[in-house]
A = this chain, B = another copy of it.
């Protein structure tokens, strides 16, 4: 791994463990093994490096979501795969957690990738739900935009419940409960 790469990965780790305020240039240099000169050769400073780290977190989240959304099966299968995909529920979401970091939220440049990620996630999921509704798979009364926002929120909130309880079971339970939102239309009529 080259120095630039090591600096970004170290900053991701430190942001995760200590938040923005606890991620000092000195800690980044010590853990990455890069000198001060080298760090300022690659990045203008801590905000610039944090932006690279946050952007990478956001890109990875988007990539994993896309894999589930573009996967095989019905719309219900794909949304279920997205909600249930293996996650480290006790660690939390590396992008969602940043919304609780006051220093990150106060800086428009650092907030932008977080805002764009959730906006993209909700819009993409809404598009998928609208398709499922048009195909007659989902309930015609389903509101794609509101349902997508609810499902993205459930994932974020399920991390909170899992961390509060100290067990990933709570994540699974919240997500299972939310799946009733997209129970296929036909199954519903068979009740």
Contact residues of A with B, CB < 8 Å? 17-19, 21-22, 92, 96-97, 99-100, 102, 105, 111, 114-115, 117-119, 122, 139-143, 145-161, 163-166, 170, 173-178, 180-181, 188, 191
Q: A119-B165, A122-B161, A163-B99 are in contact. Are A170 and B156 (CB under 8 A)?
A: no
Pairwise interchain contact B164-A149, C-beta atoms closer than 8 A: no
In the bound complex, CA of A159 to CA of B160 (Å): 11
Chain B residues positioned under 8 Å from A174 (CB to CB): 146, 149-150, 152-153
Pairwise interchain contact A164-B102, C-beta atoms closer than 8 A: no
Pairwise interchain contact B180-A142, C-beta atoms closer than 8 A: yes
Chain B residues positioned under 8 Å from A122 (CB to CB): 161
Q: A118-B165, A157-B160 are in contact. Are A146 and B22 (CB under 8 A)?
A: no
Main secondary structure of the interface of A (DSSP, over half): helix
Q: A151-B177, A157-B158 are in contact. Are A118 and B164 (CB under 8 A)?
A: yes
Pairwise interchain contact B146-A177, C-beta atoms closer than 8 A: yes
In the bound complex, CA of A92 to CA of B182 (Å): 27
For this complex, 18 residue pairs linking A to B, each with C-beta atoms less than 8 Å apart, are A92-B99, A96-B157, A99-B164, A100-B160, A105-B163, A117-B164, A140-B191, A143-B177, A145-B173, A146-B176, A149-B161, A149-B177, A150-B173, A150-B178, A153-B161, A153-B178, A156-B157, A177-B181
In the bound complex, CA of A176 to CA of B180 (Å): 15
- A87–chain B nearest beta-carbon distance, Å: 13
Tell me the nearest residue of chain B to A180, going by C-beta. Answer: B181
Pairwise interchain contact A153-B158, C-beta atoms closer than 8 A: yes
In the bound complex, CA of A146 to CA of B169 (Å): 11
Tell me the nearest residue of chain B to A96, going by C-beta. Answer: B160
Pairwise interchain contact B146-A152, C-beta atoms closer than 8 A: no
- A180–chain B nearest beta-carbon distance, Å: 6
